[in-house]
Chains A and B, each alone.
Chain A
Amino acid sequence: MTNLRDDEFMERIADAVELSESALAPADLKARLYSALVRQQSRTGRLMSLGETHAHGHQLCVFEQLVRIAPVGETMKSLNICRVCHARVLAEHMENAPIFWSGCPYVEFKKS
């Protein structure tokens, strides 16, 4: 009987209380999530080239633009160049990283 009452008590509490918190995901976490996903994508296949990405209407950052217009093959243009970018390193380790240029996903994570 006691257990039944406790059970009922818990049912009522759970019905009355939503445990969700409205916490914003930290920007450095988003940066690490993005890096992990792109790393995983490039391990298991070829990333969409920067030319194709641009053709799909996405904005590229200044470094990606350089690679896109450089006289190199599609394989080079499909590399995950963020891997060697200081913006990624800063964004993965700082909540408000000092990176500002447009078209960089790591900069966008600070805003969203």
Chain B
Amino acid sequence: MHRLEQQALGQPQTVSLQADEDLVLVQAVLRRDRKATAEFVSRYSGHIYSYVRSRLAPRYEQVEDLVQEIFLSAWKSLRRYRASGSLHAWVMGIARHKVEDYYRERLRAPESIEDSELDPDTSTYVSTIHQVLEQDQVRKNTQRVLSALPEPYRLALIWRYWEKASAREMAIKTGKTEKAIERLLARARAEFRERWNHDQSS
């Protein structure tokens, strides 16, 4: 739609300007304009890096490799970008797929939770989410508990609850049965909650 038509229809011009800018950048990168490629890296590396870090925490050693994979994959599929959404959303979509691939690979391996990874403390449930309403505290606790979980548990929970994948999707992507994923999630949830409660009580 032409920008003037959008203005006539009362649609925000900024959306169109952003779309134009995105398209110009994409076309320049596709022409193998090295300076545009540098602009592409500058513009999106921060967002992607932050996102991948948050999804892989506390295993940061894979973050940079995964970010590079995301950029190379974006370059390979850049011709398919149609400007129906923002370039930022498109690139983040690729990032989400790559993170999902990472989860899939990690969870596909036979599950082995080291004894040392599990805290033997089995303190009882003493508080509910309602008792811990302070947002920042909840965030810190969540990050701390997630970081302390064995990797399969952590990845399964983030994939299921933050990335909103269904158990069925996770099963298909990991080649496991839905039942196996449900069992993994049940153990992960129980472990998360136990550690959460332990944090609250201590």
Q: How large is the interface on A (under 10, 10 to 19, 20 to 34, 35 or more residues)?
A: 35 or more
Q: Is the CB of A56 within 8 A of B28?
A: yes
Q: Is the CB of B142 within 8 A of A22?
A: no
For B37, B53, B158, which residue has the most chain A Cβ atoms within 10 angstroms?
Answer: B37
Identify which of A7, A36, A105 contacts B68 (C-beta below 8 A): A36
Chain B residues near A24 (CB, 8 Å)?
A: 46, 49
> With the chains together, A21 CA to B143 CA distance in Å?
11
> With the chains together, A64 CA to B188 CA distance in Å?
55
Chain B residues near A108 (CB, 8 Å)?
A: 38, 42
> With the chains together, A37 CA to B143 CA distance in Å?
33
Q: Is the CB of B45 within 8 A of A33?
A: yes
Q: Is the CB of B189 within 8 A of A41?
A: no
Interface residues of B (CB under 8 A from A): 28, 31-38, 40-42, 45-46, 48-51, 53-55, 57, 64, 67-68, 71-72, 75, 129, 135, 138-139, 142-143, 146, 157-158, 160-162, 186, 189-190, 192-193
What are 25 A-B contacts defined by CB distance under 8 Å?
A: A6-B186, A6-B190, A13-B161, A14-B162, A16-B129, A16-B135, A18-B139, A19-B143, A19-B162, A21-B54, A21-B57, A22-B50, A23-B49, A23-B53, A24-B49, A29-B45, A30-B42, A37-B41, A37-B75, A46-B32, A48-B32, A48-B34, A53-B35, A108-B42, A109-B41
